A and B are shown apart, each in its own frame.
Chain A
Amino acid sequence: MKRGSIDRLIQLAFLEGDITTHGLYEQTAARRHPRTPASAKARRELLEKLEVSLKARQSTIAAPVTLGSFLRKAKTEHSFTTSEIVSKVGISANIYRMLEQDRLSPLKISVVSWKRLIRFFDVPTDMLAEMIRRTYQLVFFAPSYRTTLARYKQEKSRAKKFQVLEAAARELYARADLVLPPEEEQKLSDFIKTITG
C-alpha cells in the first residue's frame, strides 16, 4: 500500500497517544491476514524465550514472600477480581493496586481491613505477619535503591557507573539482613500484634 508523509505523521501522532481510532485500528489488526509470516526458526526461538520467561515467572511466584506476591498469586488461583477483593476487604482499588505492587506500607491499612483480609483469603496469621514484615522492609528501603538507580543513570562514563554500583553493593552487604531501625521495628511489631493477636 502506498503511504504518504501525511499518513506517516498521523501514524506518529497515534503512536504518541495524541490521537486515537477508537479501537478501529486494533479491530482491523485482529482481522488482517499476516503478510509476512515468521520463519519456523524464528518461531522456535521466540517460543524458547517465552518458555524460559514463563518458568522464571513461576519460580518467583511459587513462594509468596511479600504481600504483593501473595495477593497476585491468590487472586489468580481463586480467579478473584480486584473489585471483589476491595469490596470484601474495605479498601479502595488504588490502595489495593499499590499493595499488590508492594508500593505501600502495610501500616497504612487499618487493622479492621487486615482482619477482613485474613478471613477473606483464609491466610494463617504467622504467614501474614511474615509477609507484612518483608513488605514493610521492602517499602522502607526502596527509596535508597531508587536513589542508587538514579545516580547510576545520571553518570555518563562506564567507570563512574561502576563506582556507583560498587558503592551500592558495599552498602547492601553492610546491611544484608535489612535490619530496620529500632523505632521502626517497634512500630511494626506492635502493629503485627494488633492484627494477629
Chain B
Amino acid sequence: MGRATNRQIVEKLRNGDRKGAGHLVDAYQDRLISEAVSIFHIDSLDAEELVSDVLLSVIQKIDSFEFTKSDGDFHFWVMTIFRNRIRDHVRHETLKGGLMERFEESALENDQEYSGTELEVVRAVVRQYESSLHSSERSADDPRTVPGKLHVIAETLDAMETWERVLLRCRALDVPYEDISHYTGKPVSQLKVYHQRVRKKFVKLLSEHYPELAIS
C-alpha cells in the first residue's frame, strides 16, 4: 500500500478518521525527531516529546490549514509548527541554563576548537540573545511577538554576496551542496572549497557589530 498523500491525510484528520493519525505519524514522527536531534541538537527524549506536541497541534489546528498552491503546502505548514516548537524549546533552555555552555559542549563533542575571534563574537551574540529573552520575559509582552532577537545575524548576512549568504544559511541546516549549487548556480566543488572561507568572512563582518571587543 502506497503512502497517503498530504491531501488524504488532511481530509482524514478533518473527518476524525483515525487512519489519518496513523498516516501523520508514519509521515512525520521519525522525520521530525531526526531533524530535532541531528540538526538542532535536541536531546532524543525531549525530541520525542516535542514532536508529539507538534503533531497534536497539527490535529488541533487542522481546520485553520488550507491548501493554496500544492500538496506540499501541508508539509511547509507542519515544518512551521515544528520550527516554532523548537524555537520555544531553545528559548526555554536558554532561560534555564544559558546557551553558551551548550554551544561549547557540542563543539567539544564534535572535536572542534574555537578560534579566539569566533569565541568572542559568538559569546557577544549569545549574551545579546539571552538578555533580549530575559527582558521580554520580564516585560508583560508575549515573547513570540518580540521581533529581531538575532537581527545582527540577518544584517551581517545581508552585507554578503547572495551565494555566500545562501551557502551559510543552508549549510547551517545541512542542506546538501548539490541543492545549494542548483539554487545559486555555483559549482559544488567551489561551494565546498569556499565554505570555510565564507564562514571566516562572516565572523569578521559580525565582529564589526561589536567594536567593544577590539578584535584585531
Contacts of A46 on B, CB cut-off 8 Å? 25, 29, 51-52, 55
Tell me whether B38 and A4 are in contact (CB under 8 A): no
Q: Give Cα A27 to B175, complex, Å.
A: 9
Q: With an 8 A cutoff between CB atoms, is A76 at the interface? A: yes
Q: Which of B106-114, B186-194, B208-216 interfaces with chain A?
A: B106-114
Contacts of B30 on A, CB cut-off 8 Å? 34, 36-38
Q: With an 8 A cutoff between CB atoms, is B31 at the interface? A: yes
Contacts of B149 on A, CB cut-off 8 Å? 16, 18
Tell me whether A10 and B20 are in contact (CB under 8 A): no
A17-53 residues at the B interface, CB under 8 angstroms: 17-30, 32, 34-38, 42-43, 46-47, 49-51, 53
Name which residue of chain B comes closest to A68, CB basis: B63
Tell me whether B175 and A12 are in contact (CB under 8 A): no
Tell me whether B76 and A26 are in contact (CB under 8 A): yes
Contacts of B107 on A, CB cut-off 8 Å? 4-5
Distance from B166 Cβ to chain A, minimum over Cβ atoms (Å): 8
Count of chain A to chain B residue pairs whose CB atoms are closer than 8 Å in the complex:
182
Q: With an 8 A cutoff between CB atoms, is A179 at the interface? A: no
Contacts of B112 on A, CB cut-off 8 Å? 2, 4
User: C-beta contact mask, A1-19 vs B, less than 8 Å → 1, else 0?
Assistant: 1111111111111111111
Distance from A129 Cβ to chain B, minimum over Cβ atoms (Å): 24
Assuming the contacts A26-B75, A30-B75, A34-B34, asked whether A6 and B39 have C-beta atoms less than 8 A apart, the reply is no
Tell me whether B118 and A5 are in contact (CB under 8 A): yes
Contacts of A82 on B, CB cut-off 8 Å? 66
Distance from B55 Cβ to chain A, minimum over Cβ atoms (Å): 6
Q: Give Cα A14 to B126, complex, Å.
A: 14
Contacts of A19 on B, CB cut-off 8 Å? 153-154, 157, 169
Tell me whether A11 and B52 are in contact (CB under 8 A): no
Tell me whether B29 and A54 are in contact (CB under 8 A): no
B74-99 residues at the A interface, CB under 8 angstroms: 75-76, 79, 83, 86-87, 90
Tell me whether B183 and A24 are in contact (CB under 8 A): yes
Q: Give Cα A46 to B31, complex, Å.
A: 14
Distance from A136 Cβ to chain B, minimum over Cβ atoms (Å): 22
Q: Give Cα A21 to B72, complex, Å.
A: 16
Q: Secondary structure of the A side of the interface?
A: helix
Q: With an 8 A cutoff between CB atoms, is B56 at the interface? A: yes
Question: How big is chain A's contact interface, by range?
Answer: 35 or more
| Chain B interface, number of residues (Cβ within 8 angstroms) | 78
Name which residue of chain B comes closest to A39, CB basis: B48
Q: With an 8 A cutoff between CB atoms, is B8 at the interface? A: no
Tell me whether B16 and A54 are in contact (CB under 8 A): yes
Q: Which of B14, B34, B180 contacts A24 (CB 8 A)?
A: B180
User: C-beta contact mask, B127-164 vs A, less than 8 Å → 1, else 0?
Assistant: 00100000000000000000111110110010000000
Q: Give Cα A21 to B166, complex, Å.
A: 7
Q: Which of B39, B40, B122 contacts A9 (CB 8 A)?
A: B122
Distance from A125 Cβ to chain B, minimum over Cβ atoms (Å): 25
Name which residue of chain A comes closest to B62, CB basis: A57
Distance from A29 Cβ to chain B, minimum over Cβ atoms (Å): 6
Tell me whether A53 and B59 are in contact (CB under 8 A): yes
Q: Give Cα A85 to B96, complex, Å.
A: 47
Q: Give Cα A105 to B84, complex, Å.
A: 31
Task: Provide a sorted-by-A list of 24 A–B residue pairs whose CB atoms are within 8 angstroms.
Answer: A1-B174, A5-B107, A6-B122, A7-B172, A11-B40, A15-B40, A15-B87, A18-B154, A20-B169, A24-B173, A26-B75, A26-B76, A28-B174, A28-B176, A32-B31, A32-B34, A34-B31, A34-B33, A36-B34, A47-B21, A54-B16, A54-B59, A57-B16, A76-B63
Contacts beyond the supplied A32-B35, A34-B30, A54-B13: 11 A-B pairs with Cβ under 8 Å: A3-B110, A14-B173, A16-B87, A18-B148, A21-B169, A24-B166, A24-B170, A46-B52, A53-B59, A57-B59, A58-B16
